[in-house]
């Protein structure tokens, strides 16, 4: 699935300039975001296929840990669900998907349930370092989703 996503993301950048992507995300960034921050946010979706690939590997490897599988699956569902916080007009509409994946992976790593290898940790850190440049409403929606996802999962066996 991530190979399809990789092609989708790359094709979406082919269809517009980076300056056009920056213009589209301008409405969801904070007042403190410089043009350089906006460019970095506009490029963040290029990391999404790799984050999705790692989430898929977590689901496969955590076959005896239903909570971790469900949480990682919930993050993937957000990526593939067209009802996002920004909308899914790529590539700008994939910024929230990328941030959700990165913050979700960071949450799993911080609680010690998943170990991020140095490459994935670098990807997560790159995206997580940009979240302060999102607008407050979007940032609150994303962090709320990541934090509350686990509580909204249906318990196994019900």
For 46-66, the pLDDT digits (tens) are 999 999 999 999 999 988 888
- 107: in domain: yes
Structurally, how many domains does the chain consist of? Answer: 1
Q: Is residue 41 part of a domain?
A: no
Single pTM value for the model: 0.92
The least confident of 70-74, 80-84, 146-150 is 80-84
- Residue 68 domain-assigned (yes or no): yes
| Residue 36 belongs to a domain | no
Secondary structure string (H, E, C) spanning the chain: CHHHHHHHHHHHHHCCCHHHHHHHHHHHECCCCCHHHHHHHHHHHHHHHHHHHHHHHHHHHCCCCHHHHHHHHHHHHHHHCCCCCCCCCCCHHHHHHHHHHHHHHHHHHHCCCCCCCHHHHHHHHHHHCCHHHECHHHHHHHHHHHHHHHHHCCCCCC
What residues make up the domain containing 61? 2-27+47-152
- Judged against a pLDDT cut of 70, whether residue 95 lies above it is answered with yes
Confirm whether 157 is domain-assigned. no
- Residue 61, in any domain of the structure: yes
Is residue 33 a part of any domain in this protein?
A: no
Residue 108 confidence (pLDDT): 94
Residue 84 located in a structural domain: yes
Distance (Å, whole) CA 104 – CA 74? 10
């Amino acid at each position: 699935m991530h190979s399809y996503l990789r092609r989708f993301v790359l094709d979406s950048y082919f269809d517009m300039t980076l300056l056009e992507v920056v213009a589209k995300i301008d409405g969801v960034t904070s007042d403190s975001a410089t043009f350089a921050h906006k460019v970095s946010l506009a490029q963040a979706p290029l990391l999404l296929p790799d984050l999705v690939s790692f989430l898929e590997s977590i689901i496969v490897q955590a076959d005896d840990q239903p909570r971790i599988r469900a949480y990682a699956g919930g993050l993937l569902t957000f990526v593939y669900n067209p009802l996002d916080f920004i909308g899914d007009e790529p590539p700008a509409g994939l910024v929230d998907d990328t941030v959700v994946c990165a913050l979700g992976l960071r949450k799993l790593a911080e609680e010690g349930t998943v170990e991020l290898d140095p490459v994935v940790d670098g990807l997560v850190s790159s995206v997580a370092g940009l979240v302060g440049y999102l607008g407050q409403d979007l940032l609150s929606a994303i962090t709320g989703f990541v934090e509350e996802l686990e509580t909204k999962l249906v318990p196994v066996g019900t």
